[in-house]
A = this chain, B = another copy of it.
Amino acid sequence: MELTSTELSCGSCALSRICLPANLSARETRILAGAVERGRELQSGARLIRAGARMDALYVVRSGSAKSCGVMNDGEEYVRAFNLPGEVAGLEGFADGHHTCDLVALEPLRYCRIPLGRLERLMETLPGLRREVLRLLGQSLEEAQRMRTEVSMVDARGRLASFLVDLSRRLERRNLPPTHFRLSMSRRDIARHLGLTLETVSRSLGAFRSAGWVEVRARYIKLLQPKALAALLAH
């Protein structure tokens, strides 16, 4: 699933079906590839985007994972999103040209970078890229709004189930085992993401385990009955 350092083009990237070029023509993908820069590998905990910084590029996770996070006035951390390979981060910067939250690596991370100036110039000539960027923004917006209603209307277990099912679905799209995976984020990060405390996350996981729906060993998790989890959402 990961790219070797010899790969240079979006066209041959294993993520091309998921990432920006998903719906671009071969020609458009080739042109876009010319604008993409490869970042070096970052260590776990490294900050790729800093809140308040001028938005100068879009960032795409190539391997590893990251969290989009920040701190509230009172110093409490919040986690807006987790970013898996192929996912674009920093889109909220389009609002006023500045990022409003950090992007932090959760494990060793490689990424691609598309300078904003070049992106804007390419959008002038590539209608597919225009559509794709709009689609990405629309998708992030829809996701954020959906999460917002979920946080306010679904109880702790429902939210955790939703999180696990969603993660599973995203892993599946990347041809990774969807029922047996490692959580790259801490319980605390999950809690901050779902608007819960880490104790509640732990207890809810415990409840799923007692019910025989999941197997948990530290950060490794196996979904035994994904349907039971998904059923929690239907309510």
Q: Which residues of A contact B (CB under 8 A)?
A: 72-74, 76, 78, 80-81, 91-96, 100-101, 120, 123-124, 127, 130-131, 133-135, 137-142, 144-149, 151-153, 194-196, 233-235
Contact = CB atoms under 8 A, between A and B. Distances in A.
B94 A137 contact: yes
B195 A134 contact: no
Contacts of A120: 127, 130-131
A61 B49 CA distance: 35
A211 to B, nearest CB: 20
Copies of this protein chain in the complex: 2
22 contacts: A72-B235, A73-B235, A74-B235, A80-B145, A91-B138, A91-B141, A92-B138, A92-B142, A93-B138, A94-B137, A94-B138, A94-B139, A95-B139, A95-B142, A96-B138, A101-B145, A134-B137, A137-B141, A144-B144, A144-B145, A149-B195, A152-B195
